[in-house]
Amino acid sequence: MSQYHAPLHDIEFLAASVFPLDAHLEDCGSSLDASLVRSVVLEAGKFAQSVLDPINRAGDIEGCRLQDGAVRVPDAFQHAYRAFCEGGWNGLRQPEEYGGQGLSYVLSTLTEEIWHACNPSFALCAMLTSGAIETLLSAADPALKAQLLPRLISGEWTGTMNLTEPAAGSDLAAVKTRAIPKADGSYAISGQKIFITYGDHDLAANIIHLVLARLPDAPAGAKGLSLFAVPKYLVNSDGTLGARNDVHCTALEHKLGIHASPTAVMQFGADAGAIGYLVGERNEGLKTMFIMMNEARFSVGNQGLAISERAYQHAVWYARERVQGRIVGEEERGGTILRHPDVRRMLLAMKSRIQAMRALGMYISMRRDEAHAAGQPETRRQARERVELLIPVMKGWFTENAQRITYDAVQVFGGMGFIEETGAAQYYRDARILTIYEGTTAIQANDLLGRKTLRDRGAQAGGLLDEIRQLARALQEGAAASRAFGERLEHACVHLRAAIDWLLAHGAEDPRGAHAGAAAYLELWGTVAGAWMHGLRLRAALGGGLEGEARQAAQASAQFYADHILIHAGGLKTAICEGAESVDGFPDTRWTE
C-alpha cells in the first residue's frame, strides 16, 4: 500500500504565489510567517505519516466496542492520541489565554487536512473538540470558560455535539430533551441523543457534551431550545474530577465506514437527571449551536478534500505500478496503466478538483483569520459575510467531490479496488458519510439558496460573482495560455448570473420550484468557484510562481478543469431555471410502478 505524503509543493505554491501568506498574516496581526507555517505543516506531515497513517487500516478492521457500559476505541489510538496532544496539535489556533498557541486558521486548516487524510476516524475526535471550544469561547460565561477550556484545548478532555434525536433529525424544532432548572443554577438534563460522534471513548479523562434541550417554559419549536454543557464526570471547584454524571452510552452504531470512530446513542438523565450548565442565553441554543455547526461544516468540507487527496495518492501509486493491456496508440506492451487515456482522465479529474478545493479552503480560512483579527470593523464584517456565503459551498461541494474522487480511485484499481486489502474501498466507505453529517447536501443547498442568496436579494452572491468575472476578463487579456480558460470562466459566470436572476425572480412566488434546483445551484457555485481558484492558480503560475514541468502541470490541470468540469455550468443553469416543473410533475401514486 502507498505511503501518504503531505502535499507540501501545492501548499507552498498557494502560500507563496496564489495567496501570499506573509502579507496576509501581517495584516491579521499574526506573529507567524510563511516559513514557520511551512515548518509546522512539514512536521504535521511527518507525524501523520509515521503515527496516524499506519493505524488507519488497523483501526478500520478493529473498530470500536461497547463493553460493560464503556466504549473502547482501537488499541493503537491510545498512543497516537497521547502523542497528538503532547505535540500541541490540539490547540494550534486556540487562544493563549487558555493554553493554546494562538495561531491562524490557515495553519490549522492545512494541518487538519493532513490529519483527516491519514486517519479520518482518529481526526474526528479533535474536530468535534475544536467545535466545542469555539462555541464555549463565543458564548459561555467566564467561570465556565475557565473551568472547561484549558483541558479541552490541551486534549485532556474532549467535546461533542448533541443535536439529533430519534424523532428530530434535520428538524431540530422537534427536539424533546428536557432541561429542568435546579436551585444551584445548574440544570437537570433528560433525553436521548443519537449519532453522537465520540459520544463516549477511552482516550480522555472527561468528555464535555454540548446538548440542545428545552426548558419547561420555553416557546415551541426551534426558538425554544437552549444549549447546555454536560460533563461525563462532574468537575470539582478545584478542577479535579468528581462523581460520574448521569449520562451514558447505551449503544454504538454499526456503520458503512469510519469504523474506528465511535458513533454513540447517548442517554441523559436515566436516573436523577444529568447535570448541565447553560451556555449562552436561554432559548438561544440553536443560534449558539450554529457556531459549532458552522465550525463542523467547514471541517467536514476539509475532510472531503483530505480523503480525496489520500485516495488520489493511492490511485496514482497503483497506476504507476500496475501493468495491464496494450496502451492505445503505443506499439510496445508492458506500460503501466498510467498511460491508458481513461486512467489519465480519472486521475486528472481527481487532481484538478483537489487543487481547486485546497485553494478554496485556504481562501476561506484566510477570510476566517480576517473575521477574527483586530482590524477594521468593516473588514471583519466583509470577511465574515464572505465566509458565511461560502461555508455551504465548501461543505456541500467538497464532500460531493469526495464521492466522485473516491469512486474513481476504486475504478483506477479495477477489480482490486473492490478488495478490502488494497485500502481503496475504505476511502470510498469513509467518504460516504461526509455528504450527510453536519447537514446533508440538500440542507447546504437550501442554506445557500434561502439564507445566502434570496434573503439579501443576491447582494453577497452577486458581489462575489462580479469578482470572479473580473478575473475571467483579466485572464483573457493576458498570455495566450490563459485566454481560453478566461473565456470559459466568463461563460460560466454568465450561466451562474442567469441562475441567480431566475431564482431571485421566482423564489418568492414559487418556493418549491426554486428549491427543486437548490442542489444544482450549489453544484454550479462549486463548479464556478473551483474554476475561479484554477484561474488564480494559473495566473500565479504564469506570473513566475512555477517553472518548467510544474508550470506545465498547472496549465494542464486548469485546462482539464475547464474542458471537463466547467463545461457543465450551462447544464446546471438549465436544471435550475427549467427543471423545476418536472420535479413536481411526477404523480405521487406512481412511485412504485
Can you give the pLDDT at residue 332?
72
Question: CA 444, CA 40: separation in Å to the nearest integer?
Answer: 32
- Strands 274-279 and 225-231 come out as antiparallel
Residues 365-381 pLDDT 10s: 999 999 998 778 999 99
Q: Which of 135, 188, 177, 186 is nearest to 160 (CA)?
A: 135
Task: Work out the widest C-alpha separation in the chain, in whole angstroms.
Answer: 85
- Strands 178-181 and 70-72 come out as unpaired
Active site residue 421: no
Can you give the pLDDT at residue 219?
94
Residue tagged active-site, from 420, 438, 509, 578: 438
Q: Given CA atoms 87, 93, 94, 99 in this order, what sign does their dihedral have?
A: positive
Task: For residue 162, give the DSSP letter.
Answer: E
Q: Which of 552, 502, 557, 506 is nearest to 535 (CA)?
A: 557
Residues 475-492 pLDDT 10s: 999 888 899 999 999 999
Q: Which residues of the chain have pLDDT under 70?
A: 1
Can you give the pLDDT at residue 581?
81
3-class state of residue 254 by DSSP:
coil
Question: CA 437, CA 431: separation in Å to the nearest integer?
Answer: 11
- Helix, strand and coil in the chain, % to nearest 5: 65, 10, 25
Q: Are 199 and 262 in contact (CB under 8 A)?
A: yes
Question: CA 225, CA 281: separation in Å to the nearest integer?
Answer: 10
Question: CA 475, CA 542: separation in Å to the nearest integer?
Answer: 11
Phi, psi angle pair for 586, to nearest 5°:
-85, 130
212: left (phi over 0), alpha (psi -120 to 50) or beta: beta
- Strands 157-162 and 206-214 come out as parallel
CB-based contacts of 255, cutoff 8 Å, min separation 6: 263, 433
Q: What's the gap between Cα 207 and its chain centre?
A: 22
- Strands 206-214 and 225-231 come out as antiparallel
What's this model's pTM, rounded to 2 decimal places? 0.96
